[in-house]
A and B are shown apart, each in its own frame.
Chain A
Amino acid sequence: MKVWKYGDNINTDMLFPGKYTYTCSVAEEIKPHLLEDLDPSFSSNVQSGDLIFAGKNFGCGSSREQPVIGLKAVGIQAVVAESFARIFYRAAINQGLLLIECAEAVEAYQKDETVDLDLMNGKITIGPKTYTFPKLPKEILAIREVGGLLPYTREKLKKKGCK
């Protein structure tokens, strides 16, 4: 498992360039362009289970869910950042990509340290130290538990029945 470390204000154009937004919408089209203008080595070297660590305001900018879909599809276990921009945060809930807001963990992380995530208890261990992050509200957990917003909506519609 590798940790990809980036700085503050990683915006949606860095995560997935705007010029592709109307030509790429499914995971296989998105993957080769992930982080293209930020880190050209990312898309060919990322492996399932990797983590991203970043600073403040991760995902700021456009309403652009391709980076969320792409990061989920390449198997990013979680993005740990000091803070996230809200549309990106919402998109991650809707796609089932795990985002963890934990400034202490980001600050503490040194290159090549081991990282262990304990989602059930809201804990992240970096080297010898463990940090906690707040659990998600029940409304959001309900979306996460069924695998994202569309499965959640499908269940809701089934319960309501056909019009």
Chain B
Amino acid sequence: MRARIPRVFALVVKELLALLRDPASRAVLIGPPIIQLLVFGYAATFELKHVPFVVYNQDQGQFSREFVARFAGAPSFDLVQFVYDQKAVEQAINNKSALMAMDIGPNFSSDLERGQPARVQFVLDGRDSNTAAIAMGYVQSIVTRFNQAQIVQHGMKPPPTVLLDRAWFNPNLDSRWFIVPGICGILTLLVSMLTTGLSVAREREMGTFDQLLVTPMPPAEILLGKALPGFLVGTAEGTLIVVMAVFWFHVPFTGSLIGLYIGLLCFLFAAVGIGLMISSIAVTQQQGLLGVFLFMVPAIVLSGFATPIANMPQAVQYITLLDPLRYFLIVLRASFLEGGGISLFWPQYWPLLTIGLICMIVAANLFRRRLA
């Protein structure tokens, strides 16, 4: 035991040197995660701020001008131009110069005056159906507000029922609050893959892994020496990213910090385990790189980062149970927004530990196989 600690320590130092000595690899490890948090944190938002739209107004009355003004004045919509025939509407949408076209019929104002429902047609570009769906919601809410004003102005009978909605945890439905904690998880995964995914494959290819195997260290110690740098770098960068999410992006942190850190360590255990497993299966770095992508891409897409797991078919939902990022995202989002603590997180901790343990055992066995 007494000999072991310095041995593992020496290996950890060697691994850290291999990672950080080369200025290029040092730069890749530290710079991009921080830059990416900044860029993605601003880029990844589901709010629409500039929906370009064209207006084809066949009505001469004052009401249609008021109606158009409601949209032109709304912060989410940008009036591009007025068009004067159906063909121009088609062209604007086809060429993507507008996401939406508003087609007001010739009887709009007179219908409104007579108390008849005045109909307005909205055409949306469905090539990006998520943006179209969000814009559709915006249209509905502006029309509803216009209607309420009209009802009050003209002393009309109010509708029998109204829909009043509010949202918990995120009252303004600011998607950044949801996305930024998700990016924290993704970048932590990225860093742990960078530190461990190629570490064994590289030594294999260079021939230095054989040297490591002839030392008196048992595979478990080699594994520990290879895993610890991933933990250290992952914890350090994970902390930095969480700090930036709170102080730069002002995402409220309402939960328990200890709960989040236990989650981070469990997640790193799983991610480092998977990285070492990939790295010890791979014979060349090319294979290691392929392995990293084959794991990382599905892990991010199926984690519930952008598309909810509940929308996936049952069979795919079972696959997500193998995805460590899925559990960590729940911990992150609950810690940030829902005020969750350790007691609520047990169902997330233990799958992470299980995944990590299995992968570490597989990785150690793959070392041993080489020994034999």
Is the pairing of A and B real? no
Binding site for A on B (CB under 8 A): none
Binding site for B on A (CB under 8 A): none
